[in-house]
Amino acid sequence: MAQRDNLYRRSSGIYVVRIAVPARYRLYTGQREIHASTETNDIRKARAIAAGLLVVWQRCLGEYQKLDREKLVSSAPALAGEGMISLAEFCGSTSASLQQVAQRLLDTNIPLFWLADGRPAYYVEDLSLVDKDDPEVFGFIIDSAINIGIRGSLSGYVQPLVSSRILREMIAGEPLDAETAFKSSEASSKAAWFVDFPGVEISPNSLMIHRVQAERLRLFWLSHSTVVSPVMPEKPKAITPVLLPSSIPDNEYVNRKYYSVKMSELCEKYIRYKRGGKFTEKAENRVREGFGLLLEVMGDSTLEKVDRDFLRKYESLLRSIPARRDLAKIRYKINDVHELIGKAKENGDPLMSDNAVRKYMRILFEAFQWADGEGIFNKSPANKFFAPVENEKMDQDFKSDFTDEDLNAIFGMPWYKRGTVDKNSQGQFHHYRAFHYWLPLIGFFTGARINELCQLYLDDIKQDAVGFYFFEISNERADQSLKTIHSRRKIPLHPTLIKLGLVRYCEALKKAGHERLFPELPYHPVKGYGDKASDWFNRSLLKERLGFEKESKKSFHSFRHTFSTRLKQAGIDSETRAQFVGHIRGSGETENRYSKDYPPAALYAVLESVTLGLPEVAPFVCEDGVDAVADALRIKQSNKSRKEPQ
């Protein structure tokens, strides 16, 4: 096997680049030699590829000169290679404190893992179905998860559902709570595994990060440490004039400068860019889910390989994956997605829908569009990737208004007939909540989004100088959010809401020491205050109690459509309707930039002129409402105490 120009040829005919690593730099590579396939049996192409690799290696040698410093350098062997390293071992090898490491992991969103030992656990496909009571620890009631979950066993490396909480406990030097909830191996934010109490005892010895990420941290700290005078690296040998980078085969879509960037790195770059704007945790999870599936199916490819053919191959594989792959993995006891594809084909399982495929692909396409603008791509390989799909329905058809029959059913519930319900034998409200009465009513009379209502504070219900009461929808507080800037608005209280006792109830809540209109609703870090209320109305009330079809397009959002439709039918102009529901005001610059919103008094007159058609409802019993809030908070505290170690 004769070597020429740092190349040798395997028996297959493929040429391989061989780079001898000087002894003083083997700490950084963990190797005496580096062997990199050129993936070609053409000697001229192989020499051209070798030239590019040797140039990169020469740059690496220059970087290595700067890193020969005390503990950070001596830690390189511990961090080299594949697999996981515990936080305790990483701290020991780098002399970094646990607080420093935890802070850096939190800042960079590096995933944290625990090696599951096959213990019993319960798989829940949709987290929104699990009852929640304690938002500080993500609010999940384990008994609820066990009741609806599928029993299985938890094994392999898994991520805690809320790693940020663990890291913050480390930073504060607090004892680590036992962990009961873990992400599913599928990158979906909807599914999770739950372990019964007392949960999993975790520590810096049992929590892991990938060695590649550990090396990333080490190099970050190296780059911020004192640099010694560099020694000029040795020049690589046997580079001939034919080894010109220009002869390396091109990917027309990718800027050559970024050929070696991996898809995982592109994901992190894109997320860092998005965080510069208003990038929610939910949106970040969506991006990570999209890239996570790509890495699972195609591996962590470099951008040099990402072209149209690469995307077509990925699309084809997506269409071969079982529709519910997490459940399929449990059923077949298979973790590898390619083995799962074979098993699904063998058994004729339902496959991922076209909508799901497009959803995953579009997450990547959005990132590619950004990369195109950044100069990482010469042009996006995703341009016009999918043939356009012509909608057979107008936008208004995708959501349904409530019919009069629907409204009679909703407002015919027991608490609307009497303004309250009976207490149980202990003199308490176990299931009834005040928001059961008020949320549908306020939604009906305002057309507001459910989260806009659930996040209201008592001082968001105001009275103007003329004496008109109104809701102020805003995001003034840290726990309040709006869909768009146009969502900020003032909506008058309909006279019926006042007649039914809303203002009296607000005064009763203030007297009881509460600050929010719905203090019984917990806060979800991604979904806000509306999570539990949405689940109650859409699932528990409409589908389970009133028998609405699962495929029905009706939900709490239908109040919004019903309200807007009835304003339109009453002849109310589009700009006024837009102000009521929080849409952009008008279509021209004059309306959007220069026109001011109508004051609450003017909108009150509009409401009085429109017949909304509410069925007969009994006034709210304020005393029972305050008691129901107290009972809900007591139950929440009781559930929280059950979770705490005795």
Predicted local distance difference test score (pLDDT) of residue 644: 57
Does 563 reside within a domain?
yes
Q: Which two tokens stand for residue 82?
A: 């594949």
Predicted local distance difference test score (pLDDT) of residue 482: 81
Quick one: which H or E segment has residue 59?
Answer: helix 43-65
Q: Which two tokens stand for residue 423?
A: 């207490």
Name the one residue in this structure whose structure tokens are 């304690």.
134
Q: Please report the sign of the dihedral spanned by the C-alpha atoms of residue 523, residue 528, residue 530, residue 533.
A: negative
Q: Are residues 326 and 466 in the same domain?
A: no
Q: Are residues 349 and 305 in the same domain?
A: yes
According to the 3-state scheme, what is the secondary structure of 538-601? HHHHHHHHCCCCCCCCCCCHHHHHHHHHHHHHCCCCHHHHHHHHCCCCCCCHHHHHHCCCCCHH
Low-confidence ranges of the chain (pLDDT < 50): 1-4, 27-31, 67-73, 76-82, 134-138, 187, 226-248, 390-398, 588-594
Burial 337-363 (b: 16+ CB within 10 A, else e): beebbebbeeeebebbeeeebbebbeb
Provide the mean pLDDT of the chain: 81
Does 113 reside within a domain?
yes
The pair phi, psi for residue 393, each rounded to 5°, is: -125, 155
Residues in CB range of 372: below 8 A, 6 or more apart: 378, 379, 380
Last residue of a domain, one of 390, 424, 459: 390
Q: Are residues 487 and 576 in the same domain?
A: yes
In angstroms, what CA-CA distances link 249 with 328, 371, 382?
A: 41, 21, 21
Does 495 reside within a domain?
yes
Last residue of a domain, one of 390, 417, 434: 390
DSSP class per residue in 436-475: HHHHHHHHHHH---HHHHHT-BGGGEEE-TTS-EEEEE--
Does 73 reside within a domain?
no
**Coil, helix or strand for 333?**
coil
Q: Are residues 536 and 597 in the same domain?
A: yes
DSSP class per residue in 583-596: --S-SSHIIIIIPP
Does 542 reside within a domain?
yes
Does 645 reside within a domain?
no
Q: Please report the sign of the dihedral spanned by the C-alpha atoms of residue 569, residue 570, residue 575, residue 577.
A: negative
Determine the Cα angle at 49 with ends 46 and 52, to 5°: 150
Q: Are residues 134 and 19 in the same domain?
A: no
**CATH for 435:** 1.10.443.10
Predicted local distance difference test score (pLDDT) of residue 473: 93
Q: Are residues 204 and 326 in the same domain?
A: no
Residue 173 corresponds to which amino acid? G
Q: Are residues 43 and 22 in the same domain?
A: yes
**CATH for 316:** 1.10.150
Domain extent for 207: 78-223
Q: Are residues 287 and 382 in the same domain?
A: yes
Does 407 reside within a domain?
yes
Quick one: which H or E segment has residue 163?
Answer: helix 163-171
Q: Which two tokens stand for residue 25?
A: 């730099």
Q: Are residues 192 and 123 in the same domain?
A: yes
Domain count, the chain: 4
**Coil, helix or strand for 479?**
coil
Does 228 reside within a domain?
no
Q: Are residues 339 and 372 in the same domain?
A: yes
Q: Are 308 and 293 in contact (CB under 8 A)?
A: no
Predicted local distance difference test score (pLDDT) of residue 492: 94
Last residue of a domain, one of 331, 363, 390: 390
- d(CA 360, CA 385) in angstroms, rounded, equals 13
Q: Are residues 517 and 605 in the same domain?
A: yes
375 φψ region: left (φ > 0), alpha (ψ -120 to 50), beta (else): left
What value does the CA radius of gyration of the chain take, rounded to a whole number of Å? 30
Predicted local distance difference test score (pLDDT) of residue 433: 95
DSSP class per residue in 62-124: HHHHTT--HHHHHTHHHH-SSSEEEHHHHHHHH---HHHHHHHHHHHT---EEEEEEEEEEEE
Q: Are residues 57 and 104 in the same domain?
A: no
